Structure 1
Amino acid sequence: MPVSDYRDYLVRIISRSGSFRALACVTTELVREGCRRHETSPTASAALGRALTGGVLMGALLKTGQRVGLKFEGNGPIRKILVEAESNGAVRGYVGEPAVDLPLRNGKLDVAGALGRAGFLTVTRDLRMKEPYHGTVQLYSSEIAEDLAYYLTDSEQVPSAVGLGVYLGTDGSVAAAGGFLIQALPPQDEAAIDRLMERIAELPPLSELLLRGETPELLLERLFEGIPCDTLEKRAVAFACSCSREKIERVLISLGREELTSLLETQGEAEVTCEFCRERYHFERAELERLLAELP
């Protein structure tokens, strides 16, 4: 579907010198949908929104048909954030404790306090090979954006800058969300890197820019002013889950004959809820009997 049919989309550019590649996206609707499905508190909404947006950016680095998983695990009350993103712009995710809410810290939502200062970020890349690639680093600041930048720079050896913003209205609803990712490619232009870092440091709060209607194109123009760049693509992005009734049936079958029989005898029915999207799948007795009959 054309990008114009979506409010949420991503733009990818590359500098004509080949020294930088950058992505920027607006994710307001998809973050709003994820938070609605999980009934998140304001603090949890900010945490999930940043992680979902980060997933969109990380997924856009992949080749067609690949996917990436992000798992933030900390010692804070929210416990964990899991996100899965496809190369086609589809993203899904959830937080461990969606009701957790903390007082503001220096006038801002305390995402780092909710996730916890100590913990790990694990990135799993499914490149459609025999085994997925796993990379793990300690949480750098627990602010999500800085953790992703640290992972890309430290683990994948690609100097990166990441900015993520989620603006919540006075009623706790998601008013704006989006982000950017910039990577320096060899041969590195140190002077241009310094210029970009200065501009990122001088950037107004990203969430406020997004609230004022800053588009991905305008954000990239602001950051790369004076650096000739070409636009490679514009891509629609959306909150979308890969779960289905058929997949849930396979999960029930994987329980095995003994456990499925016990479920049938004790409850007579089953309801399975997808962790990522909260979609509920109900199975009547006749459906469970059919699945049981399919077992060898």
Structure 2
Amino acid sequence: MDKLIKSIAESGSFRAFVLDGTETVKTAQEKHQTLSSSTVALGRALIANYILAANQKGDSKITLKVIGNSSFGHIISVADTKGHVKGYIQNTGVDIKKTATGEVLVGPFMGAGQFVVITDYGTGNPYTSTTPLISGEIGEDLAYYLTESEQTPSAVGLNVLLDEEDKVKVAGGFMLQVLPGAKEEEIARFEKRIQEMPPISQLLTSQDPMDALLTAIYGDEPYKRLSEEKLSFSCDCSRERFEAALLTLGQAELTALKREDQQAEITCQFCGKHYLFTENDLEGLIEHG
């Protein structure tokens, strides 16, 4: 079961989220049939969006758009404050590794672009904030966004590790944020620990990755676990939603679709589920419209 743990230093100067998103990224890989680099890029975006949503209060939705101009195209993800996330990558077939080590490459194939966060508070006026992509590694881009756009100095580490068959082995990460009132000596201690932290891949493959991440972040500093929340890949698409989308085409276009194709098949971009509307279904929509 995927989960996210929220914690805070007893001094009140820092807070940290650590999360295990392995099953989420496995599900995304299965639904979208992504190859290695696309799997890692999409997985990192889903984990980043979990972190963004966990940063919100109330019943909000966060849309994350990682818009690159290179091989991956765009990565789109939607997460809510209840631990649900969905997402897709435009190019599912990027599969590039370092020859010597077999390391899956991501950043160089994102290209230049934007890190776009749209927060929907349910009021009908979503708030959009954008920062440039600084590396395409997504974790670094998230840290830059949090520091620049939300004015909260942050450190982020996230990754997706694949097995010998390029299937998801483990996925997860952390976010550490400096809170108001933190003293310089405290900041220096935390910065030193983050710099000396073992590779995120090593922490994620340890026997208890959540404890390993928290220990690497806090060291001997006392901290409190505030909450533990369940996470899952969950798509809220439905036949009714796609019916409503078809109705927006108007009677003339629906009539042409019925005459020329005798049916309409729609695939949800986020989860790959197929919805078939027969000739009779289209006739009903035309009459309804």
Q: Given the alignment of the two structures, is residue 109 of structure 1 paired with residue 86 of structure 2, yes or no? A: no
Q: Which residue type is aligned with residue 109 of structure 1?
A: V
State the distance in 1 between where 2:166 and 2:208 align.
21
Alignment deviations for residues 93-151 of structure 1 (CA, whole Å, 9 cap, x no partner)? 111100122232773221012211x1111111112223111011110111000000000
State the identity as a percent.
Answer: 40
User: Which secondary structure state, in structure 2, belongs to the residue aligned with residue 237 of structure 1?
Assistant: strand
* Bigger shift: residues 136-145 or 224-233: 224-233
* Match runs of 1:28-39 below 5 Å: 28-39=22-33
Q: What SS class does the counterpart of residue 57 from structure 1 fall into?
A: helix
* 8 A Cα contact 1:26 1:177, kept in partner: yes
Residue 17 of structure 2: aligned partner:
23
Contact kept in structure 2, 1:9 and 1:25, CA below 8 Å = yes
Q: Which residue of 1 aligns with 2:247?
A: 253
Tell me the TM-score normalized by structure 2.
Answer: 0.96
Match of 2:265 among 271, 285, 293: 271
Cα deviation code 1:202-258 (max 9, x no counterpart): 222212321233332331133112222221110110111111111111111111111
Matched, 1:87 2:116: no
Aligned pair 1:44/2:38, yes or no? yes
Q: Quick check: 1:208 aligned with 2:210?
A: no
- Cα distance, 1:170 vs structure 2: 0.9
Deviations 1:163-211 (A, max 9, x none): 1011100100000000101111101222222222221222222123212
1:21, distance to aligned residue in structure 2 (A): 1.6
Distance 2:14 2:214 in 1: 12
Q: Helix, strand or coil: the match of 2:215?
A: helix
User: What's the C-alpha RMSD, in Å, of the aligned pairs?
Assistant: 1.4
Instruction: State the SS of the aligned residue for 1:45.
Output: helix
Deviates more, 1:151-160 or 1:192-201: 192-201
Q: Which residue of 2 aligns with 1:4?
A: none
Is 1:133 the counterpart of 2:141? The answer is no
> Does 2:67 align with 1:73?
yes
Q: TM-score, normalised by structure 1?
A: 0.93
Unaligned runs of 5+ in 2: none
Shifted more, 229-238 versus 185-194: the winner is 185-194
- Residues 271/139 of structure 1: CA separation in 2 closer, same or farther (3 Å cut): same
Matched, 1:157 2:180: no
Q: Aligned partners of 1:12 and 1:270: how far apart in 2?
A: 45
Within a 5 Å distance, the mapping from 1:49-68 to structure 2 comes to 49-68=43-62
Q: Secondary structure at the match of 2:31?
A: helix
CA distance in 1, matches of 2:99, 2:201: 16
**Once the 2 structures are TM-superposed, how far is the Cα of residue 157 of structure 1 from its aligned partner?**
0.5
Alpha-carbon separation, structure 1, partners of 2:181 and 2:230:
31
Aligned residues: 288
> Paired residue for 2:93?
99
3-state SS, counterpart of residue 22 of structure 1? strand
Per-residue CA shift, 1:59-114, capped at 9, x if unaligned? 11112310111111112111111111111110111111001222327732210122
| Alpha-carbon shift at residue 10 of structure 1 (Å) | 0.6
Counterparts of 1:216 and 1:45 in 2: how far apart (Å)?
22
- Which residue in the other structure is 1:176 paired with? 170
Conserved 8 A contact 2:7-2:16: yes
- 1:285 matched to 2:279: yes
Equivalent AA in structure 2 for residue 52 of structure 1: L
Secondary structure of the structure 2 residue equivalent to 1:72: strand
CA contact (8 A) 1:85 1:92 kept: yes
- 1:225 aligned onto 2:214: no
Which digits, 9 at most, give the CA deviation of each residue in 1:259-285, with x for residues without a partner? 111111111111100111111111111
Aligned partners of 1:22, 1:61: CA distance in 2, in Å?
10
**1:215 partner letter:** P
- Partner of 2:284, secondary structure, is helix
Structure 1 CA distance for aligned equivalents of residues 109 and 201 of structure 2? 19
